[in-house]
Amino acid sequence: MKKYVTLVLIMSLQDNTVPQVLYNTRDPLSQPSELYTIDAVKLYAVSDPHKCWVVKEEHGYWDESKKEFLLKAQTLKPTDPKHAVSIEQAFKDVNAQVMVRVKAGFKFQFEWYPYAPPFYHRYEIQPDGTKRQY
């Protein structure tokens, strides 16, 4: 079953995984808010189709009223093929980078929830990696 789920997941991905967006404030929608966006992306310079993923991180300030970034900078995305890993390892690496940012205070996260308005849940990520809804 695990191999089947992994295969379906890999087949459903195009160029990147679902981004993990971390804020340093409980209510990032009320004002321009600092955030990190962390996901895994394909590195097309790699010849191995199974080990072609790297972690990408962007830092910036999001303005919800304008629905745009005020400032945005890429802070992590290796381009050397030696950093490319499998999709399974990429998910582990994304989670590890999330925990780096959680320890720096970026512990508030909105998670998409498509079944009912407001179409997201709010979480505070704890130091042990668990999520507490608020």
Sequence spans of domains, the chain = 15-133
73 has a pLDDT exceeding 60: yes
- Assign 133 a pLDDT band (cuts: 50, 70, 90): very high
3 has a pLDDT exceeding 70: no
Q: Which residues, listed in sequence order, are joined to residue 69 by a DSSP beta bridge? A: 62
First-last CA distance in the chain:
33
Give the whole-angstrom CA distance, residue 69 versus residue 37: 12
Phi, psi of 80 (to 5 degrees): -75, 125
Pairing of strands 120-125, 68-76: unpaired
70 has a pLDDT exceeding 90: yes
Its pTM stands at 0.85
63 has a pLDDT exceeding 90: yes
